[in-house]
Structure 1
């Protein structure tokens, strides 16, 4: 794990985007990481009900952080400066 990228234990479900947003911090810069409900369902192997989304996110946190770290290191940002994991 790259110690230059930190992931605070914060995540927010944004129903309008159908995604969980979680922050990463690199060299003092805050980077929003976005994982879609579809990606979470794909990773768990089953459809996730809206009231269980953050539980699914917590179960997948380390894998999601690894994916986000790789995307940040590759500078794979969208036009809003976010890292989208799917």
Structure 2
């Protein structure tokens, strides 16, 4: 793992966008990472029925999402809002 990218143990659910948000710290800068409910369902093979399901599935697969986010951050593949959209 690249030590210049750190992932604090913090995540939140955005009901409006149906996404889990989690931060990364890259060389002192805070980077917002997001995972859509469709990605959570794809990786888990389960239907997500709200906040509790989403955060539980995210926690189970956290290291997979962090690894994907790390590659996207290193490749500077942020979206128009400066977020890293983690997709499988």
Cα offsets for 1:20-71 (capped at 9, x unmatched): 0000000110000000011000000121221311110000100000000000
> Structure 2 length as normaliser, TM-score?
0.94
1:80 pairs with 2:81 = yes
- 1:54 corresponding residue in structure 2: 55
Q: Which moved more, 1:42-51 or 1:3-12?
A: 42-51
- List structure 1 segments (4+ residues) > 3 angstroms apart after TM superposition: none
1:49 is paired with a residue of what secondary structure?
coil
Give the alignment's Cα RMSD to 1 decimal. 0.7
- 2:26 corresponding residue in structure 1: 26
Describe how 1:34-45 pairs up with structure 2 within 5 A: 34-45=34-45
Any gaps of 5 or more consecutive residues in structure 2? Answer: none
Q: Distance in 2 between matches of 1:23 and 1:15?
A: 17
> Structure 1 length as normaliser, TM-score?
0.96
1:6 pairs with 2:6 = yes
User: Aligned residue pairs: how many?
Assistant: 86
